[in-house]
Amino acid sequence: MAKRFALALLLAAALAIAAAYASAFLPGGAPSWAPWPMALGIPAALVGVMVLGASRDGRVGRLAIPFAFSALVLGGGFAAALALPATEAPGVPLYLGLPLRAAVVLYGIGLFPIVVLPIAYALTFSEQTLNADDIERVRLAGLEWARGRDAGAPPSAAARPSTPEVIPAAPGART
């Protein structure tokens, strides 16, 4: 389910970005709406590909929250930069040293996701990304594949050496 959603999001994002680029070829150049599909397509593409990579058994579990947060921060940040009036001028109030729209982009888009995404990745790593059992299963599958190939099954393009090495167990793997 999560993968289908991610693929649909990615495809829609690619179409939106393509539309933004295509609009620039119109007579008179890019229309005023041109940045909008790009501004919404980019967060959709990035979040879509993250969901695609993170989904396991068709689910992203607790990661749904940080992914939604990222979409909101990136999309909201770009939208705010596009929609807020241009007030950059001498004497305007500064937010952490920057005019409002620049602060939204630099701190919102540039820093907010750092606080959330890598930490969410680390906290959900064992359940959602990788654990010692996974590594062991993959090793065994690799050895099985190599045996099959040596026994005459059709080879694939990339291969481990024909005599499988004795591979030590992964640190922490169940034996």
Partner 1 sequence: MSQTLSGGVQHPAIIAVAIGYFVVVALISVWATRRTKTAKDFFVAGHGIGLVALTVASVSTSVSGFAFIGGPGLIYTIGLGAMYIVLPASVTNVMGAWVLAKRMRLLGEARGLMTIPDAIGARYRSPAAQGLSGVAILIGILGYMATNALAMGVVIDAIFGVGLGWGIWVGMGVTLAYSVAGGILAGIYVDVFQGTLMAAASVLVFLAVLKVGGGLAGISTSILAHDPSFLSPWGKITPLAALSFFFVFGMGSLGQPQGVHKYYMLKDPLQLRWYPLLKTLGLILVLLLYFGVGVGVKSLVARGALTPLSAPDAATPTFLLRFTPVLLAALVFSGVAAATMSAVNSFINIAAAVVTHDLPIALGRKPRNELAWGRISTAVLAVAAALLAQLSGSMVAFLGIFGWGLFACTLVPALAIGLNWEGATKEGAIASIVTGLGVTLTFETLNYFKAYTFPTGVTVSGLSLVLSILVFFGVSWLTRVRAQAGIDPDVRLVMSV
Using the rule CB under 8 A, is 127 a contact of partner 1? Answer: no
Q: Tokens 């969410």: give the residue.
A: 120
* Residue 114 binds to partner 1 (criterion: CB under 8 A): yes
Of 76 and 170, nearer to partner 1 (C-beta) is 170
Q: For residue 161, how many C-alpha atoms fall within 13 Å in the half-sphere facing its CB? A: 5
Q: Is 12 in the site for partner 1 (CB under 8 A)?
A: no
Separation of alpha carbons 52 and 138, rounded Å: 20
* 29 makes contact with partner 1 (CB under 8 A): yes
Site string for partner 1, 35-74 (x = CB under 8 A): x--xx-xx--xx--xx-xxx-x-------------x---x
- Determine how many CB atoms are found less than 10 A away from the CB of residue 50: 19
Three-state DSSP at 59 gives: strand
Among 85, 151, 152, 158, binds partner 1 (CB under 8 A): 158
